[in-house]
Amino acid sequence: MWDTTCITASSDDIKYMESLGLHSNVETTTANKVFYYQRGISNAKVGTPILVLIHGYPQTNFLWRHVVSLLPKDIPLFIPDLPGYGRSSPLSVPHSKRNVGKAILDSLHSLFGQPTDPQAIIIAGHDRGARVCHRLAVDADPRFDLKGSAFLDTVPGSVQWAKFQDPAAGVGFYHWAFLANVDLASSMIKAFGGDNYVRSSFDRWHGKNGVGTARLKENHALDVYAKSFKYDHVIQASCDDYRAGADEDLKYEAEDQRVGRKIDSDVLVLYSAGFLGNRGNIKEIWQEWMGKGKLDAQGFGDGVGHFIAEEAPEKTAEALHAFYKRSI
């Protein structure tokens, strides 16, 4: 059951994002189901890519606040909360990356009014959002002209699961198996307190760079994320996200590789050298999933952790802007 009080219970994050020149659909979220920020879409030409920014776990679209402030203001943006996260409604179907991606693109497409030629987009996602972007890049929705995808601090799900044969990796990413047991994990997180669980997760996954950690915490971001996980429906939906990551999402990936269905648009991978980079050669891993598209991979050092868009926003925004310009 979606507790719609999550939409208006707090507004400081909305006020901050709107101060950056973004517009929200907070007044119509109950009807639209997906909460989002956007700018410049009504004036965007079909050939001008809209940059879609998708957050990960355990966050909301507030993740992108630093990057938005650093990107050129003439880039059209669409920044949703993942279904079931933040202010967005959970899906009525399983939270597979295919279903989640479709819901996000349905919401974006609804802003265009009359049918148009395929709208150019570039998609970028962090963590779970990157997995949604991976699925969208392979599925290639015909309503859109996908110019490129950026994946932040992630590898394909099947690659990640295979690393569990390493005990250290299994300990570090324990939550993958834990959260996939939806009923058990949901009840335990509720008992512990969803907000407490979020704060403990950040303590485990942020980097060792003091400046980066301070940037992560700016604008009371951890309070925003922690408050969102006080809602039972957010805990439940986020666990179903991980359940899908252990089930249908893996089946999609296996089928992709079996039939040779690859990513045919350009891809930018940004990752923490000291976090994800410790798990293997990230560029070589992603190369196995590439088709006609070009692949660029950049590791961020200096003790930056998993939350690279907040711990290293200048580098992230610079890389995304350069990728955007190359993809036009």
Q: What percent of the chain has pLDDT over 90?
A: 94
Residue 115 pLDDT exceeds 70: no
Answering whether pTM is above 0.75, one says: yes
Residue 113 reports pLDDT greater than 90: no
Alpha-carbon span 115 to 135, nearest angstrom: 24
Query: What domains can you pick out in the chain, each with its CATH number?
Result: 4-327 (3.40.50.1820)
- pLDDT above 70 covers what percent of the chain? 100
Model confidence at 279: pLDDT above 90: no
> From residue 190, how far is each of 12, 187, 195, 239, 299 by CA, in Å?
25, 5, 9, 12, 36
Q: Is the pLDDT of residue 114 over 90?
A: no
Q: How confident is the model at residue 221 (pLDDT cuts 50, 70, 90)?
A: very high
In this predicted structure, the answer to whether residue 116 has a pLDDT above a threshold of 80 is: no
Please give the pLDDT value at position 245: 99
**pLDDT tens digits for 133-178?**
999 999 999 999 999 999 999 999 999 999 999 999 899 999 999 9
Phi, psi (deg, nearest 5) at residue 219 = 65, 25
